[in-house]
C-alpha cells in the first residue's frame, strides 16, 4: 500500500476535503498516482468547487476557483493517462456538462452505452437513473443499500446524493401519474 494514498483516502473518508486534496496532490507529485487516484482527487475538487459545500466548510472563493480549474486539469490528466478508461472520460464530460451545459446528454449516453463496451459502475448507474432510466432503479437502490466504501468518499457521497435525488424524482413522477 502507498502511505500517501492511504492518508488521502482517510482524509477523504473523514470529509476533510482540503486535507484530502493536498494529500492527493502530494501523491500526484510523487508520480505514484493512478487514474483512480486522479478521479478521486477530481471528485474532491468537485465538492470543493460547489459553493454550498465550500461555504459550509469555510472554504474561500479563491479556493473554490482553484478547485474548479484543477478539476478540469486533473480529469484531463486522467483521460490522457488512460484514454480507454470510461469512468475518467465520463467524469470529464459530466463535469463539463454540469458546469457549461456541454457536451449534450446524447454524447454522454453514447459514451456509456456504446457497443459491446457498455460502461458499468456506480457512476454509470447514477447517470442513467438520473436520466430517467427505470431499468436502472434496482441497481441504484442496491448502490444506496450497500454499506461499503462507495459512500465514504467524496465521489461516493456525490453519487449517492444524485441517485437519492433521481429516485425521489422518479417516485414523485410515478405518484403524480397515479402508478
pLDDT tens for the chain, 179 residues: list them. Answer: 579 999 999 999 999 999 999 999 999 999 999 999 999 999 999 999 888 887 888 888 888 889 999 999 999 999 999 999 999 999 999 998 888 877 688 899 989 987 667 899 999 999 999 999 999 999 999 999 885 666 689 999 999 999 999 999 999 998 998 86
Is residue 47 classed exposed, middle or buried when 0-12, 13-18 and 19+ CB atoms within 10 A define those classes? buried
Are residues 125 and 37 located together in one domain of the fold?
no
pLDDT at 23 (0 to 100): 97
Last residue of a domain, one of 70, 100, 130: 100
Cis peptide before 2 (omega within 30 of 0): no
pLDDT at position 179 is: 60
Q: What is the spatial distance between Cα 23 and Cα 14, in angstroms, rounded to a whole number?
A: 13
CB 40 within 8 A of CB 24: yes
Distance CA 75, CA 62 (A): 20
Do 20 and 44 form a contact (C-beta atoms < 8 A)? yes
Residues of the domain holding 164: 120-179
Q: Please give the grid coordinates belonging to residue 159.
A: 453519487
Structural domain count of the chain? 2
Same domain, 133 and 168: yes
Query: In this structure, what CATH number is given to the domain that contains residue 36?
Result: 1.25.40
| Same domain assignment for residues 81 and 8 | yes
- Whether 47 is in a domain gets the answer yes
CA 99, 37, 41, 68 dihedral sign is negative
Amino acid at each position: 500500500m502507498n502511505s500517501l494514498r492511504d492518508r488521502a483516502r482517510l482524509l477523504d473518508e473523514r470529509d476533510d476535503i482540503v486535507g484530502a486534496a493536498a494529500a492527493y496532490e502530494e501523491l500526484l507529485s510523487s508520480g505514484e498516482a493512478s487514474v483512480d487516484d486522479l478521479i478521486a482527487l477530481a471528485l474532491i475538487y468537485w465538492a470543493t468547487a460547489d459553493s454550498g459545500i465550500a461555504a459550509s466548510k469555510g472554504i474561500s472563493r479563491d479556493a473554490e476557483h482553484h478547485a474548479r480549474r484543477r478539476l478540469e486539469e486533473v480529469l484531463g490528466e486522467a483521460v490522457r493517462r488512460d484514454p480507454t478508461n470510461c469512468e475518467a472520460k465520463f467524469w470529464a464530460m459530466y463535469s463539463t456538462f454540469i458546469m457549461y451545459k456541454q457536451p449534450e446528454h446524447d454524447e454522454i449516453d453514447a459514451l456509456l452505452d456504446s457497443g459491446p463496451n457498455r460502461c458499468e459502475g456506480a457512476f454509470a448507474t447514477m447517470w442513467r437513473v438520473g436520466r430517467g432510466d427505470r431499468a436502472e432503479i434496482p441497481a441504484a437502490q442496491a448502490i444506496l443499500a450497500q454499506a461499503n466504501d462507495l459512500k465514504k468518499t467524496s465521489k461516493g457521497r456525490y453519487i449517492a446524493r444524485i441517485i437519492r435525488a433521481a429516485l425521489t424524482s422518479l417516485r414523485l413522477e410515478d405518484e403524480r401519474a397515479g402508478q
